[in-house]
Amino acid sequence: MYMILSLPGTDILTPWAFSKHLEYTWTRAAILTQFVQAGSESSPCELDQRTPLLSSHGSLCTQSFGGTYSGHSNATSPKNMGHGDHVVDQVARSLYVGYRNNATMDPAWFAAVETICMLNGCAMIHEALDTQIMKSYIWLQTVDGSIQQVEQEIAMFCPMICHEVIQKGMGSSKNYAISLPQQVNPAVLSLILDYCRFHQVPGRSNKERKSFDEKFIRMDTKRLCELTSAADSLQLKPLVDLTSRALARIIEGKAPEEIREIFHLPDDLTEEEKLEPLKNATDDPRIRLLNRLYAKKRKELKEREKLKNVEVDEELVDDRSVDDLLSFINGDDGDSKGIKTSKSKRKNRRRKDLLKSTSAHEATKNHNKESNGLNSVCRSAEVGQILPGVDATTNLQDVEDDIFPNKNEFDDGDIDDEIDPTLKEKIDREVEDFARRLNSDWPERMQEILSLGQEKKPVHLSLNGKGS
């Protein structure tokens, strides 16, 4: 069997068109426009303009639909449209209402009715609804299994619910309640519905809406986060924006500990990760220094790995050869290289002094070392291949390393001889001056922090607050 759908004033729709229109299989859709049309022509149906919208009509419809579908098989073409129109409308309304009262109705059927009504003059249906004592409700099921009904216009404010109702015909009865996403528990749902209830009324001014929003958003943080999550799952963008703004306001300007406290975030970054030069957002010079310290330690660790693989002899040999070559190059080349060399020499010198005096300017050290490292890398590139261990060696910055000071001295030893003595003195003086100044600045706490670091430094370092 098949249904012929004919809408007043339109062409007869074929069954296929019908199902395509409603996305249902046509066998389930049981709209009988014949029934509607027949109502205008045959008396037994007792349908005319004066027929009140009683549930008897609803049950009449139900019976008709519950029984055989064939009913009136003559597909009458739309005639007497004037009279018929109104009747169709009445019947459509009563079908709608009838369905509403009868919870066991097939949702597909309901959706088909609604489409008919809409095609027929949606406005009238909604007017009818307004004048009815019974409002239309949508059934919602939250993640805990509880089902509740919500006024249609409020629930339809949420795009996700709207989609479920229109596209899939869900929500029309208890058995076909719309399952809400798991983020929506009953408490949060009631909040969301409060929001929808206020905002779906079209006549409100912007000021009113804003003031409602401000009051609405005052709740504890946990609830706020739940609300954000739930609103997002229901695709209710205005509420998501509102809650995001509120959360941003909470986060803004607070220290990390406070934020962790508020949101119960685990403090699970390791010290090293915190120290990693992610971002000196606070521009705190201490953090910068800690970053450098960590970088230094990291290099040292890597270096130790590499050193394990390299034989000591070779290293020494290579080192020596590097230095020889370097001095060879430096000695031979003109001014440019010479200048470079003297600079690096000076830095080496400085480094050596700092080490010796056991007060170090971390920043300068690092800066020097990095630039020294760079220089040596450049030079070694020029010279030819050298074991990576060697380069790294010259980059070693940690005092603790046994090998390091030796190498340093070694390096320095060779190069020192070539520095102009007066220059050397000047440099010494500068360095000690500097060191003195630095020592007086830095609070003890920094030393504490350092001593709590991964590797304990035997040397008492005092660090400068100033950056390089």
What is the pattern of x (binds another protein, CB under 8 A) and - over residues 257-296?
Answer: --xx--xxxxxxx---xx---xxxxxx-------------
Shortest reach from residue 281's CB to another protein, in Å: 5
Nearer to another protein, 279 or 308 (CB): 279
The C-alpha atoms of residue 348 and residue 412 are separated, in whole angstroms, by 6
Amino acid at 311: E
Residues 160-179 that bind another protein (CB under 8 A): none
Shortest reach from residue 266's CB to another protein, in Å: 5
The pair of structure tokens assigned to 211 is 């003031």
Q: What are phi and psi of 219, to 5 degrees?
A: -160, 170
Nearer to another protein, 264 or 308 (CB): 264
Shortest reach from residue 273's CB to another protein, in Å: 7
Shortest reach from residue 232's CB to another protein, in Å: 6
Are the C-beta atoms of residues 379 and 345 closer than 8 Å to each other? no
Residue 451 engages another protein in binding (rule: CB under 8 A): no
Nearer to another protein, 250 or 325 (CB): 250
Integer CA distances (angstroms), 418 to 325, 343, 424, in order = 15, 12, 10
Q: Are strands 178-179 and 5-6 parallel, antiparallel or unpaired?
A: unpaired
Shortest reach from residue 261's CB to another protein, in Å: 10
Please state the separation of Cα 298 from the chain's center in Å: 32
93: how many CB neighbours lie within 10 A of its CB?
Answer: 22
Q: Can you list the positions of beta strands (E) in 93-181?
A: 137-141, 147-151, 178-179
The pair of structure tokens assigned to 249 is 């306001």
Nearer to another protein, 63 or 270 (CB): 270
User: Tell me, what DSSP letter sits at residue 44?
Assistant: G
Contact region with another protein (CB under 8 A), list: 61-69, 195-203, 253-261, 352-360:
253-261
SS3 75: coil
The C-alpha atoms of residue 229 and residue 138 are separated, in whole angstroms, by 22
SS3 28: coil
Q: Which residues pair with 137 in a beta bridge?
A: 151
Residue 253 engages another protein in binding (rule: CB under 8 A): yes
Nearer to another protein, 277 or 413 (CB): 277
Q: Which residues pair with 138 in a beta bridge?
A: 150
Integer CA distances (angstroms), 388 to 131, 376, 394, in order = 87, 11, 10
443: how many CB neighbours lie within 10 A of its CB?
Answer: 11
Shortest reach from residue 210's CB to another protein, in Å: 16
What is the pattern of x (binds another protein, CB under 8 A) and - over residues 327-356?
Answer: ------------------------------
Shortest reach from residue 188's CB to another protein, in Å: 13
Nearer to another protein, 243 or 341 (CB): 243
Residue 218 engages another protein in binding (rule: CB under 8 A): no
Nearer to another protein, 267 or 444 (CB): 267
- Count of residues that bind another protein according to CB under 8 A: 34
Nearer to another protein, 187 or 317 (CB): 187
What is the pattern of x (binds another protein, CB under 8 A) and - over residues 229-248?
Answer: x--x-------xx--xx-xx
What is the pattern of x (binds another protein, CB under 8 A) and - over residues 182-211?
Answer: ------------------------------
The C-alpha atoms of residue 33 and residue 115 are separated, in whole angstroms, by 12
Shortest reach from residue 229's CB to another protein, in Å: 6
Integer Rg of the chain from CA: 42
SS3 12: strand
Interface positions with another protein (CB under 8 A):
221-222, 225, 228-229, 232, 240-241, 244-245, 247-249, 251-253, 256, 259-260, 263-269, 273-274, 278-283
